[in-house]
């Protein structure tokens, strides 16, 4: 079975620029998650979707981060404008049940 | 607040040594517990999980973990590590009523041949 696909793998931008990340979950998985993993820390949930509805976005910095999951399949996470502290790996995960999450390879963002 | 603590940030072992990585969580209610592993250059993969039943769970590649409810712990063990076990290990908890995972800060394991 195909895994969670993410793109791009790497992105370098300057502060105040905008950036977008894309995720395609495992086919049939209703739940999709975006995590932020800062160097030296564990992943932290940014937003959780159930189909195309938001379940939890309590830790999403909504002044600069946005995410959507149109049609309940793939998802896009956007940062606008980026700050230096946004440098991190952005992980997408999907879940089909039993609370097990499957992770993509992530997008490594460097903000200069 | 929900939190997960991993006490060992870096561990260096020789091949064939035994491994135990600590994990403690902060909540006293019903939890699901996970260990994920990230090999160099690869994505996070599920190593093992505990939902209910026998508190000693076995995962892939000879790993096991024991859930001790009274200590809020879920330590990972392997009797004899291999060089290929070099990776970062994350403990994660899913608290009842929430689907999100709360992760620890991770433990980097280096196994020298």
For residues B38-62, average pLDDT: 93
Nearest-Cα residue of chain B relative to residue A101? B46
Predicted pLDDT of residue B7: 87
- Cβ-defined contact of A105 to B32 (cutoff 8 Å): no
Confidence band of B95 (pLDDT split at 50, 70, 90): confident
Mean pLDDT, range A22-42, rounded to an integer:
94
**pLDDT category, B100, cuts 50, 70, 90?**
confident
How much is the average pLDDT of B41-64?
A: 94
For residue A46, what is the nearest residue in chain B, using CA coordinates? Answer: B100
Cα gap A53→B1, rounded to integer Å: 25
- Exposed, middle or buried by CB within 10 Å (0-12, 13-18, 19+), for A46? buried
Percent of chain B with pLDDT over 70: 98
DSSP label of A34: E
Strands B107-112 and B56-58: unpaired
What mean pLDDT, rounded, does chain B reach?
A: 93
Strand partners, B31: B95
The two three-digit tokens of residue A103, written as one number: 């992770």
Q: Give contacts of B90 with chain A, Cβ < 8 Å.
A: 42-43
Confidence at residue B41, expressed as pLDDT on a 0 to 100 scale? 87
Residue A70: per-residue pLDDT:
82
The pLDDT assigned to A42 comes to 92
Q: Nearest-CA distance from B44 to chain A in Å?
A: 6
Q: What digits encode the pLDDT tens for the residues A39-92?
A: 989 999 999 999 889 999 999 999 999 999 988 899 999 999 999 999 999 999
Tell me the CA distances in angstroms from A23 to A5, A34, A55, A72, A77, one per residue in order.
Answer: 6, 9, 17, 12, 8
Q: Do B101 and A45 touch (CB under 8 A)?
A: yes
pLDDT score, position B9: 92
Give the tens place of pLDDT for each residue, B2-47: 899 998 899 999 999 999 999 999 976 889 999 999 999 899 999 9
What residues of chain B lie within 8 A of the CB of A31, using their CB? Answer: 99
Cβ-defined contact of B43 to A106 (cutoff 8 Å) = yes
pLDDT greater than 70 at residue A32: yes
Separation between Cα atoms, residue B65 and residue A94, nearest integer Å: 24
Q: Does residue A97 carry a pLDDT above 90? A: no
For chain B, positions 36-65, list CB contacts with chain A under 8 A: 36, 42-46, 49, 51
pLDDT at A82: 97
Beta carbons of B105 and A41 less than 8 Å apart: yes
Q: Mean per-residue pLDDT for B61-78?
A: 95
CA distance to partner chain B, nearest, from residue A43 (Å)? 6
Can you give the pLDDT at residue A1?
61
């Amino acid at each position: 079975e195909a895994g969670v696909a993410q793109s791009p793998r790497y992105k370098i931008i300057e502060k105040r620029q905008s950036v977008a990340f894309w995720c395609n979950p495992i086919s049939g998985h209703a739940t999709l998650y975006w995590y932020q993993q800062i160097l030296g820390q564990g992943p932290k949930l940014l937003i959780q979707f159930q189909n195309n509805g938001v379940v939890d976005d309590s830790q999403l910095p909504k002044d600069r981060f946005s995410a959507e999951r149109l049609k309940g399949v793939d998802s896009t996470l956007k940062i606008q404008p980026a700050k230096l502290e946004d440098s991190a790996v952005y992980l997408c995960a999907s879940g089909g049940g039993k609370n097990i999450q499957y992770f993509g390879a992530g997008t490594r963002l460097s903000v200069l | 607040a929900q939190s997960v603590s991993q006490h060992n940030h870096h561990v260096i072992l020789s091949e064939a040594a035994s491994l135990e990585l600590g994990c403690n969580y902060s909540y006293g209610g019903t939890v699901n517990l996970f260990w994920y592993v990230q090999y160099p250059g690869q994505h996070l993969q599920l190593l093992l999980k505990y939902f209910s039943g026998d508190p000693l769970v076995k995962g892939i590649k000879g790993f096991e973990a024991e859930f001790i409810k009274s200590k809020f712990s879920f330590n990972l063990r392997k009797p004899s590590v291999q060089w290929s076990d070099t990776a970062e290990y994350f403990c994660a908890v899913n608290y009842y009523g929430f689907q999100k995972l709360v992760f620890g800060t991770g433990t980097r394991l280096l196994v020298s041949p």
